[in-house]
Structures are given as structure tokens and as C-alpha cells.
Structure 1
Amino acid sequence: MKILLVDGTIIGTKTSVILEKVKDYIEEISTEHTLEIIRFANYEHQFVDGRPMDQYNDDMQLLVSKFEQADGYIIATPIFQGSIPGVLKNAFDFLHPKTMRYKPVSIVANGGTYQHHLVIENQLKPILDYFRCLVTPNYVYTQTSHFDENNIIVDEDVHNRLRELARVFVQYAEMSKGLCKEPIDTH
């Protein structure tokens, strides 16, 4: 299975650090998956404005293609101003509603305070529910004190929760193999 690990921001490094750890922990559990990290910072983004997909730049078409070809996702996002980054929401807006249907998704996020974890519950989960994803019940939220001055995760509980997230994600990925994936009709 092809798993897309999505670094859903164009600034900062903590989100990427968390995503790399999740990748490591999935690889410890299973070697059956092809894991690819995509960093939104490496793409030239355009706003969704309703035009046909072939009128967007190559980066946006490639991003959509990567989402369509993936069998599962780890979505990583910082929390800014009590919300997910606009670039992540814009990427979701590019996707056909069936793109992520019945595919496993786990969420990791980071923010400056403990309270911002509610953004996952109130914003990100409803978006993923709209896509009818198989969202794992255990997301991991980190905040500033979980990292050292070099943005290395120093909190052992965070490592344990990331290992558990990886374990549950792999089980969801196995479960999803038997579900019928509907073809995407782009006409």
C-alpha cells in the first residue's frame, strides 16, 4: 500500500519532525507499505477558484495526483490562530470528494498551547469525515514543551503515543484493503 505522509504547512519544522517520527515507527511495524512524505513547502500553491484541473500549475496537478494514488494518509498540521493552515484547507479543496474515501487517515498536529488540540476535533475531523475517510481514533497533538531548542521531540509520552498511532494506522490500513474503492469520475 502507498501511504502519503502530508506535511500540511509551508513554514516551520516541528510538523516535519513529528511526521518523520511517525514514518520511522510505521517502518518498525511493517515493511509492506511504501511511504512518501510530501512537504507543502516544496510546491507552488495556487488557490482553488473553480477552473478545470488542467488549468492549474504542474505542482497542483502533481499534488492532487499523489492524493489520488495513495491508499492511506498521515496528515500533519500545525495549528495557527486556532485553525489549520489555509494551504492545507486549500489542498483539500482541490480533491474530488471520492479521493480519500474509505482510506485510512491518522492525524498529528502541533501548536503553541495545549488548548489548540480542539482544532483537530472541530475542524480537521469534520473535513476528513466529509471525505468518508477511515480516521483512526487516536491522533497525537504536541506543543512547544514537547520539543527541545533543536526541535527534537524530548517527551517520552509523545514518542509512545506516536508509536501507538503508527500501530493503529497499520491495522486500519490492513482493514481498508477489503473495502471497495469507488473510481473517481472527474467529468
Structure 2
Amino acid sequence: MKVLFVDGTIIGSKTGAMLDTVEEYVKEASGDFQIERMNLADYDHQFVDGRPSEQYNEDMQKMVRKFEEADAYIIATPIFQGSIPGVLKNAFDLLHPHAMRYKPVSIVANGGTYQHHLVPEFQLKPILDYFRCLVTPNFVYTHSGHFDQDNRIIDEDVHNRLRELARVFAKYTEMSQDLSKDVLDAN
């Protein structure tokens, strides 16, 4: 099963550090995953304005292919000004509504304080619900105090929650294999 780890920002390193940690735990939960990392910072982004996807640059088209080819996703996002980064929303705006249908998704997010801990619940989950993803119920939110000066997660509770997220994600991937993907052609 091909799992796409999405680092949903173009600046900072905490989301990448979270993905590194999640990757360890996902590998522990199931050795059957082929993990690929997509760092949005590595792409030349264009503003999505409704054009057909083939009219965007090569990097934008490559992002679409990576989303379409994946069987499951771990999405990591920082929270800026009470919201997900525009670059992540822009990437979602480029996808066909069926691109992620019935595919498992887990969310990890980080912010400066606890103040924005519900942003994944009230902003990111509705977007993923629109795509009809199988969103695991246990997203993990971190804040600056959970990291050391080298952006390593130092909070044991966060590690435990990430282990649990990986375990639930692995179960969702098993469940998703029984769902028909033929709906993509029918709708």
C-alpha cells in the first residue's frame, strides 16, 4: 500500500519532524507500507484558479499525480493565524473531488500554543470529508512546548498519541482494501 506523507507547509521544520516520528510508528504498526514524502516546499506553486489541471505547471501536475496514486495519507500541517496554510488548501483545490475517495487519512498538526488545537477538527476534517476520505478520529496536535531546540518531540504523551494514531491508521488501511474504488469511474 502506497502512503503519501504530506508536509503541508513551505516554511518551518516542526511538521517535518512530526512526520519523521509518525513514520517510525507507522512502520512499527505495519511493514506493508510503501511510504513517499511530499514536501510542499519542494514545489513551484501556482495559484489554483479553476483552470483544467493540465494547464498548470509541471510541479502542480506532479502533486496531483502523487495524491491520485497514493492509497492513503498522513497529512502534517502547521496552524498559522488560526488556519491551515494557504499552500495546503491550494493543493487540495487542485484535486478532483474523487482523488482521495475512500482512502485513509490521519492528521498531525502543530501550532505555537494550545489555542488552535481544534483547527484540524473544524477546518481540515471538513475538506477531507468533502473528498470522502476515511479520516481517522484521533488527530494529534502539538505546540512549541512539545519540542526541544532541535525540533525533536520530547513529550511522552505526544509520542503515545502518535503511536496510537499509527495503529489506528494501519487498521483503517486494512478496512479500505475492502471498499470498491470503482465508484471513481461511475461518478
Same fold flag (TM > 0.5): yes
In structure 1, C-alpha distance between the alignment counterparts of 2:53 and 2:115, rounded to whole Å: 37
Q: TM-score, normalised by structure 1?
A: 0.97
Which residue matches 1:5? 5
- Check conservation: 1:9, 1:40, Cα contact below 8 A: yes
Which residue matches 1:152? 152
Aligned AA (1:95): L
Which residue matches 2:109? 109
Which residue matches 1:165? 165
In structure 2, C-alpha distance between the alignment counterparts of 1:115 and 1:163, rounded to whole Å: 24
Which residue matches 2:25? 25
In structure 1, C-alpha distance between the alignment counterparts of 2:116 and 2:85, rounded to whole Å: 13
Aligned AA (1:175): M
Which residue matches 1:132? 132
Q: Which runs of 4+ in 1 moved over 2 A?
A: 182-185
In structure 2, C-alpha distance between the alignment counterparts of 1:58 and 1:40, rounded to whole Å: 14
Shift of 1:62: 0.4
CA deviations on 1:78-101 (whole Å, 9 max, x unpaired) are 000000000000000000000111
Which residue matches 2:34? 34
Helix, strand or coil: the match of 1:141?
strand
Q: What is the count of residue pairs matched by the alignment?
A: 185
Helix, strand or coil: the match of 1:106?
strand
Unpaired segments ≥5 residues, structure 1: none
Helix, strand or coil: the match of 1:159?
helix
CA deviations on 1:107-130 (whole Å, 9 max, x unpaired) are 000001102111111100100110
Which residue matches 1:60? 60
CA deviations on 1:140-180 (whole Å, 9 max, x unpaired) are 00000000111111001101100000000000000000101
Helix, strand or coil: the match of 1:4?
strand
Matches within 5 A, 1:41-52: 41-52=41-52
Shift of 1:183: 5.9
Shift of 1:41: 0.4
Which residue matches 2:142? 142
Which residue matches 2:88? 88
Pairwise CA RMSD = 1.0
Question: Which sits farther off after the overlay, 165-174 or 115-124?
Answer: 115-124
Aligned AA (1:43): Y
Aligned AA (2:138): N
Helix, strand or coil: the match of 1:166?
helix
Judging changes above 3 Å, is the alpha-carbon distance between structure 1 residues 87 and 151 closer, same or farther for their aligned structure 2 residues? same
Helix, strand or coil: the match of 1:138?
coil
Shift of 1:181: 1.1
Q: TM-score, normalised by structure 2?
A: 0.97
Aligned AA (1:174): E
In structure 1, C-alpha distance between the alignment counterparts of 2:46 and 2:118, rounded to whole Å: 28
Shift of 1:49: 1.1
In structure 2, C-alpha distance between the alignment counterparts of 1:91 and 1:176, rounded to whole Å: 23
